[in-house]
Amino acid sequence: MNRNLVFILLAFAACTQKPVQENINTSEAKEREYIRAIEGEDEDLNLEEITRGEVLISYSDCAECHKEDKRAKGPAFQNIAKRYPNTQAYIDLLTRKVISGGTGSWGSPIMSPHPELKEEDAKAMVSYILSLEK
């Protein structure tokens, strides 16, 4: 009788552990699909530009839709940094996106346009975002 109980408990434990592992793998796969990291070599970013960008973001309306480390209405800044390499080409691309707005890059959220933002300020802000730990 004891052997049967041990066998049932071991079988139950084995069955319950597998879905937990599958959920972890599914969650990781969803996160990778959400971020869709772009391959590329990072370039050195200007520390002064990064610092200026951090200050500009702190005085902007970015926090209404973005948080540094978790999704809100829009993607987390750290997820943006994980997706895009630190290159001038991507800084230019994201600068245009900040100024003109857009949709579709991160699902259904709409990036509001910021036409009043100077290009050099938007570049500094994007440089700060891309500098965040990946």
Q: What is the pLDDT of residues 13-63, one digit of tens each?
A: 555 555 555 555 788 888 888 889 999 999 998 999 999 999 999 999 999
Which SS3 state, helix, strand or coil, does residue 43 take?
coil
Do residues 125 and 97 lie in contact, with contact meaning Cβ atoms separated by under 8 Å? Answer: no
> Would you say 111 is a known binding-site residue?
yes
- Alpha helices by DSSP H, listed for the chain, are 2-35, 47-58, 77-83, 88-100, 119-131
Q: Is the pLDDT of residue 78 over 90?
A: yes
Which SS3 state, helix, strand or coil, does residue 104 take?
strand
The DSSP secondary-structure symbol of 49 reads H
Q: What is the model's pTM?
A: 0.78
> Would you say 66 is a known binding-site residue?
yes
Which residue ranges make up each domain of the chain?
A: 67-105+112-133
> Would you say 65 is a known binding-site residue?
no
Domain 67-105+112-133 falls under CATH 1.10.3720.10: no
CA–CA distance, 104 with 77 (Å, rounded to integer) = 17
Q: Residue 75 carries which side chain, given as an amino acid letter?
A: P
Ramachandran bin of 19, using left for φ above 0, alpha for ψ from -120 to 50, beta for the remaining angles: alpha
